[in-house]
Each structure stands twice: as C-alpha cells, then as structure tokens.
Amino acid sequence: MATRAVSYGKAAYLRSTPADKAIGPQVARIAFQHPSQTRWLIAFAGSAGLMLWLAVALGWLFYWGIGVWGNNIPVAWALDIVSYDWWMGNACGAILFSAVLLLFRQYWRGALNRIADTIAVLSAAAAGIYPIVHLGRPWFFYWNLPYPNNLGLWPQFRSPLVWDAFDIISFLIVAVLLWYVGMIPDLATLRDRAPWSRRKLVYGAAAVGWRGSAVHWARWIQTCRILALLAALQALCTQTGAAVMYAGTVEPGWHDTLLPAFFIANAIFSGIGVIAVIAALVRYLYPVSDLITRDHLDLLARLLLAAGLMSTYFYCADFFFTALGGDNFDRSVMMRRFTGEYAISFWLIVGASLLPIHLLWFRSVRRSSLLLGALGALVAVAMWSDHFMVLVVTQHRDFLPSSQSFYMTSFWAASTFAGTVGLFGVLLLLALRYLPVASIVDTRLSIRVQTET
C-alpha cells in the first residue's frame, strides 16, 4: 500500500530526508527531555489558572443558576451554545482534516495528524461540558439520553437536541479511538526508547503489547482506515446535527436548508485555522521544524485558503437566497446582521477571516509559521463570531418587535468560556509534553514514499 502515493505538488516535504531511524529518537527526545521547559511552564501555568477559574465559574453557576450568565428571553441561548458550537466546529474540522487525508493516503499528514487528532479530542472535551452545564437543572442531564427507567419515559426523538447529545457522545468515542489507535505504534516506540523503568511501564501499558508484527500492522492499518471513515462521517453528522438545531425551527435566519452545509464549511475552516495555530505553537515550543516543515505549512495554508473560499461562497449564497427568497423576516434578520446592534459580529467575520485569508495567495505568507498561526487564530475568532451572529441576531429579535431584547454577556459567561480554553490548553500542553507530537510511523511512511518516488 505504501508504494503508491498521490503526488501533491511537491513530493519532498521533508527537506533533508533524514534517515528513517532518526525520526523515532527525535520525537521521543521531546517526550523524555522536555525542551523549552520554561516556555511550556509559562503556558501551562496560564492554562491551569484558567482551568481552575472554570471550576470557580461552574461552582458559581451551579450555586445560583443560569441567571449568572447574561442569557434572557428571547436570547435563551447565548455564549453557552456559541462556545459549544465553536468547539464542536473546531473538533469536526480538525478530525475531518486528519481522517480525509488518511483515507486519501496523504502520508504527509504524519507531521500534523497527531496535532489534528488531539485538537479534535480536546475540543470535543471542552465542548462536552456545555450540554450539561448550560441546562437549567444540570443534575438531570441524563434525561436527554434513552435509558431504561420505571417511568417508561424516553427522550423526544424528534428533537435535534437529543440527536446532538448522541452526536457528541459518539463523536468523542470515535475521536478518542482514532487518536489513540493511531498512536499505538508510536507509544510502542516511546516504550522501547524510554530510559527508565516507570516510563517504560506507562508507555508499555499504553502501547497495549504492540510488537510490530506484520499481523499487527495489517490490523492497525485496517482499523485506522475504518476509524477514519467513521470519524469523517461522524464529523459531518455532528455538524449537520448542530445546524438542524437551528434549521429545524421556524425562526428567521435559522430556518434554512443551507445551514447544515454552511456549518460543515465553517467547521472545516475553523478546524484548519486551529490546526495552524497549534502547529505554529509546536514549532515555537519544540525543535521540530524539520518534521513540520514549511512545505507542510504551505499545504496547510492552501487548505485554509480553500476552506475560506468555500466559506465565503456560503456566505454569498446565504445572502443571495435570503435576498431572493422574499421573506420579510428573513431579510430583516440579514439586515440586522449587517447593520444591527450586533453587526460587529458579522464584520468581524469579514475582517478577520474572509478578507485576510487572501494573504495566503502569497507563498511567503503561507510558509511563515508566525503569519499562518496568526491567520489561523483570526479565522478561529471569526468563526466564533459567526456562531455568535447566527444565534444572537436571530434570537434577540425574531418576529414580533415587542419581544426584542438585547443580550449582554456577563462576567461569569465569559469566565466559563475562558475556562474551557484553559481546559483545552492544559490537556493540549500535557499531550504535547508526554506524547509523540508528530506521528513517527506516518513520518517514516512519508519518507519512504518520498524516497521511492
């Protein structure tokens, strides 16, 4: 299988084509020796602080109720669902990147797929707290799930929220499996190279007896492909499911068949943006610039540009159909997106993502770690803003002018979101420090493909 690779522009992604055997030690050194300890510690301390603040914010929330957030009627869903959708968008975008490249046998993904898979898992974890904590009575969260009970009560299966609960659970399972199974051979490498016994034990347990036999490899490759296929489908389901939460209503600006596709496009855009940010961060933290090369960044940037163009197309299509559709309420919502109280969220999308991505037409920008990372961050911010716009602009005034009410976020709502960023950061930094930051196996495959062609 490894003998045929699709030539993608330039075949050589790894500049110096290092020897096969050098990859393992290089990646293992990061896990064992922790270079850039100070930088890592600073980042970790910041993230851990935010994560502790999340605990405080959730404590406050559970004590007082949802009222500590700024949510109101009509804006019943605000920063909670905005953040949830954004995290899930990142997760789906990242896992689509990893899974689709695997299915299309793009071995250069080895440099970035570990990062992408980790983002998918951790974003989903950060998102996963919201469906529970945003409930008015979070202690009954399990009523959303079908389970045998003496009341004979089931969830209401027509509700998109039920399917969303299923979605996030199955997404977490698939994402963790893809991430973990894909990592098993690398964990075995770390086990073999671990300098002392306790580490050997931990990595050995994690490597679940991987011996590198031909049967192992065959099964592993099969499993990875199956999981990748499942992950891709799951990502599509999750995003369309999240979109149907809105498209399934009669609300103006939501009731739209375009919305599920729009959500997928924006998820990919956002996910690749976050991958760019984390890739830049990893290159800054660790000596991996010969593993995650500028050629990789270039490819990532092209994907980001493509996703951005796709997203732009959807925005245009949305405006076009709304304007053409002739529904007065829909058009009013569109006008409020452009000029209303929350117009900043729309112009942030344009100004932070749809316009700046055109810098990526320039080769030098594509190949700059800093610029690409910054653009990725802008895109992520813009996609957060998109979710804010979709939710808040429609809700704060839908049909009756009398029910208009503005939404002001609160300190505690913002704290909760910042806390989920902290949670993501802590877990990500731990993963970067103790797990192989790049896929050793896939990088080796990539070198082989490179040398063979």
Partner 1 sequence: MPPIDPASEEADAVRRLLEQAGERPSWRALERIADTPAFDAFVRRRHLSVTPMLAGTGRRRFLQVMAASFALGGLTGCDRDASSGYAEIVPYVNQPTGLTPTEPQSYASATLLDGIANGALVTTIDGRPIKIEGNPDHPWSRGGTDAFMQASVLGLYDPDRSQAVMHLTNPSDWDAFRGSMIGRFGALQANQGRGLRIMTGPVTSPSLVAMLRDMQKAMPEMHWHSHAPVGRDTIYEGARQAFGKPLDTIWDFSKAETIVSLDGDFLDPGPQQVGAAGRWIEARRNAARAGHLLGMHAAAPFPNLTYAKADHHAVVAQRDLVPLARALLADVSGETGAGDGPAMEWRTRAVQDLMKSRGRSIVVTGAHADPALHALVHRINAALGNLGSSVIYTDPVVVQAEPVESLLDAMERGEVSCLLILESNPVYSMPADARFGDRLKHVPLKIHAGLYQDETALRCDWHLPLTHPLESWGDARSPDGTATLIQPTIAPLYGGRSIPEILSMLQDTDPRGGHEILRSYWRRELGDDGFEAAWRDALLAGFVRDTAFQPQHVAVTASGAPNPAPAADGIDVLIRPDPTIWDGAFANNAWLQELPKPWTNTVWQNVLTLSPARAAKHGLKNRGLATVKAGGDAVTGPVWIVEGQHDDVVMVQLGYGRGTLGSVGSGIGFDAYALRSRLAPWTRHGATLHVASGERRVVTSQELEQQGGHDFVRLQPIGAKPVGDDTAFTQPTLYNRTAAESASDGRAWGMVIDLDACIGCNACVVACQSENNVPVVGEEQFAEGRSMHWLRVDHYRDDTSDHSHQRFMPVPCMHCETAPCELGCPVEATVHDHEGLNLMIYNRCVGTRACSSYCPYKVRHFNFLHYSEAPPAIQARRNPEVTVRARGVMEKCTYCVQRIVKARITADIDDRPIRDGEVVTACASACPTRAITFGDLADEQSAVASARKDPRNYALLGELNTRPRTTYLAALVPSDWKA
Residues at the interface with partner 1 (CB under 8 A) = 64-67, 70-77, 134-138, 140-141, 143-144, 153-156, 158-162, 165, 245, 248-251, 328, 332, 395, 397-408
Closest CA to 179 of 248, 125, 131: 125
d(CA 126, CA 114): 18
Least CB distance to partner 1 at residue 135 (A): 5
Which residue, among 315, 309, 289, has the nearest Cα to 390 in the 3D structure?
315
3-class SS shares of the chain: helix, strand, coil, % to 5: 75, 0, 25
The least distance separating partner 1 from the CB of residue 27, rounded to whole angstroms, comes to 44
- Do 60 and 412 form a contact (C-beta atoms < 8 A)? yes
Query: Toward partner 1, which CB reaches closer, 18 or 155?
Result: 155
Task: Provide the minimum distance between the beta carbon of 69 and partner 1 in the complex, in angstroms, as a whole number.
Answer: 8
DSSP state of 403: G
d(CA 147, CA 171): 19
DSSP of 132-195: HHTSSSGGGGGGGS----TT-----TT-HHHHHHHHHHHHHHHHHHHHHHHHHHHHHHHHHH-S
Residues 296, 281: Cα–Cα separation, whole Å:
14
Give the nearer residue to partner 1 in terms of CB position, either 156 or 364: 156
In the DSSP assignment, the letter for residue 69 is: S
Q: Least distance from C-beta 62 to partner 1, angstroms?
A: 10
Give the helix/strand (H/E) hosting 358.
none
CB closer to partner 1 out of 68 and 383:
68
Residue 281 and residue 274 in contact, taking contact as beta carbons nearer than 8 Å = no
In the numeric block, the tokens 């500028």 are attached to 294
Q: What's the DSSP call for residue 314?
A: H
Give least dist CB 328 to partner 1, A: 7
Give the Cα separation of 298 and 364 in Å (integer). 9
* CB atoms inside a 10 Å sphere around CB 149: 10
User: Min. distance of Cβ 97 from partner 1 in angstroms?
Assistant: 30
Output 51 or 57, the one with its CB closest to partner 1.
57
In the bound state with partner 1, the residue whose beta carbon lies nearer, of 290 and 341, is: 341
Q: How far is the CB of 409 from partner 1 (least distance, A)?
A: 11
Q: Are 289 and 314 in contact (CB under 8 A)?
A: no
CB of 423 to partner 1, least distance (A): 22
Closer CB to partner 1, 37 or 405, in the complex: 405
- Residue closer to partner 1, measured from CB, 407 or 417: 407
Smallest separation, CB 153 to partner 1 (Å): 7
Identity of the residue, 240 or 332, whose beta carbon is nearer to partner 1 in the bound complex: 332
Q: Give the shortest CB-407-to-partner 1 separation in angstroms.
A: 8
The tokens for 185 are 């051979």
The helix-helix angle for 259-285 and 79-103 (nearest 10°) equals 80
Backbone dihedral angles phi then psi of residue 441, each to the nearest 5 degrees: -60, -50
Q: Which is nearer to partner 1, 223 or 410 (CB)?
A: 410
Q: Is 394 helix (H, G, I), strand (E, B) or coil?
A: helix
Q: How far is CA 183 from the centre of its chain?
A: 18
- If the CB atoms of residues 137 and 198 are measured against partner 1, the closer one turns out to be 137
Q: Are 303 and 312 in contact (CB under 8 A)?
A: no
The minimum distance between CB 419 and partner 1, in angstroms, equals 20
Comparison of 64 and 321: residue with beta carbon closer to partner 1: 64
How far is it, in rounded angstroms, from Cα 139 to Cα 130? 13
Q: How far is the CB of 53 from partner 1 (least distance, A)?
A: 22
- Between 155 and 351, name the residue whose CB sits nearer to partner 1: 155
